[in-house]
Amino acid sequence: MRKLVISSLLGASALVAAIVMLTTGVAPRLSGAADHLDAPFVKTDGRIDINDVYAFQSPSNPANTVLIMTTNPVAGVLSPTSYRPGADYRFNIDRDGDARPDISYRLSFEGNGPVQDVQLRCVPAAACGNKGAVLARGQTGATIPVKGGGSLRAGLFDDPFFFDLLAFRNGLAFCAGGKGTNFFAGFNAMAIVLEIPSSQLGPNNIGVWATTSIDDKPADRMGRPAINTVFNHTDADKNAFNFGKPINDQRDFRKNIVDTLLSLGDTQAYANAIADVLLPDILTVDTSNAGGFLNGRRLQDDVIDTELSVISNGAITTDCVANDSVFSSTFPYLAPPN
């Protein structure tokens, strides 16, 4: 969801006005979607800005799990179509439910041209058994085999996120005439797609989140969609959330979620229950289950409808926008760039 200034809502219902106030702020350009441009620091360099995170059972091989991280909002327009050399891009895996990474798949990139060198490492190396620390080397735009099984690809793709941003800006006037319009149609993003045997991740039930960092200093993180953009309302909190760790989410950000939901007229019990589900900000996945959000997140999952229903306690259930990207059932699954 997006933080956008909307000044034409004086006649709107109290609920709609409250939701808009809690999810508005920067405009008129793109800002704050699922996680696009969600905090001041990541706006300084779109290459370290995580848009979305996906984790799902491979549709072509049920024994594999697919992890996807998209970055670079509106790549080629607002952001470059490359990765930041020297930056650290990670998929973090929690195997035992303690909100700490037991294994991380770390990617680094070199070069500033349209084609960059990419390396995939296992951190710590021992977590990947006898396969060693370096699992893959290659170049962006090409499919790279991964040691121990699986594939890696990093490059430019169609942005899979879909949402009626213009209706959102127009006082949440969703579903005019029973239809919605995907604001993100035609936009591109950079994506890292990693498919590996689920057995390498540990037990069936895992937690997944993505991070970016520069010189070992955190830049951005994301698990479930829209947590930072919807529930943290100051620039300081938004930056602090991205710089933080999931293990501290309940301590540091629970109040923001509860207060947001209470301000929308939800009960204390409902607000507490939702805070228990949403924090820590980790995408929970049963790798043996092909279902989608809230079991992981597939590319086609309509997460905005779920988020709208949650923050409004069922008062708003859809933006009437369905996925309009043509995803593949085989690696790398995403649609080609526009």
Of residues 171 and 126, the one with the higher pLDDT is 126
Write down the mean pLDDT value for the chain. 89
Q: How confident is the model at residue 25 (pLDDT cuts 50, 70, 90)?
A: very low
pLDDT above 50: residue 23:
no
Cβ contacts of residue 43 below 8 Å, gap of 6+?
Answer: 31, 37, 49
* Every domain of the chain and the residues it spans: 14-303
Strands 205-214 and 87-94: antiparallel
Residue 277's identity, in one-letter code, is V
Mean pLDDT throughout 35-59?
A: 96
- Segment among 10-19, 104-113, 285-294 with least mean pLDDT: 10-19
pLDDT tens, position by position, 122-161: 999 888 876 679 999 999 999 999 999 999 999 999 999 9
Distances (CA, A) of 322 to 37, 95, 182, 305, 317: 22, 33, 8, 10, 13
Count Cβ neighbours within 10 Å for each residue of 162-171 and write b for 16 or more, e otherwise: bbbbebbbeb
Q: What pLDDT is attached to residue 289?
A: 97
Mean pLDDT throughout 12-40?
A: 52
Mean pLDDT throughout 57-61?
A: 97
Of residues 321 and 26, the one with the higher pLDDT is 321
**CA 73 – CA 81 distance, rounded (Å):** 10
Tokens of 24: 């508005």
Count Cβ neighbours within 10 Å for each residue of 19-32 and write b for 16 or more, e otherwise: bbebbbbbeeebbb
Instruction: State pTM to two decimals.
Output: 0.90
Nearest to 83 by CA among 101, 106, 102, 103: 106
pLDDT tens, position by position, 265-310: 889 999 999 999 999 999 999 999 999 999 999 999 999 999 888 8
Q: What pLDDT is attached to residue 308?
A: 87
**CA 281 – CA 257 distance, rounded (Å):** 12
CB 91 within 8 A of CB 208: yes
Of residues 337 and 168, the one with the higher pLDDT is 337
Tokens of 159: 């942005």
Mean pLDDT throughout 111-130?
A: 90
Of residues 195 and 19, the one with the higher pLDDT is 195
Distances (CA, A) of 335 to 44, 153, 329: 27, 13, 11
Q: What pLDDT is attached to residue 10?
A: 23
**CA 72 – CA 36 distance, rounded (Å):** 8
pLDDT above 50: residue 184:
yes
Q: What is the DSSP letter of 338?
A: -
131: left (phi over 0), alpha (psi -120 to 50) or beta: alpha
Q: What pLDDT is attached to residue 8?
A: 24
- Segment among 35-39, 93-97, 317-321 with least mean pLDDT: 35-39
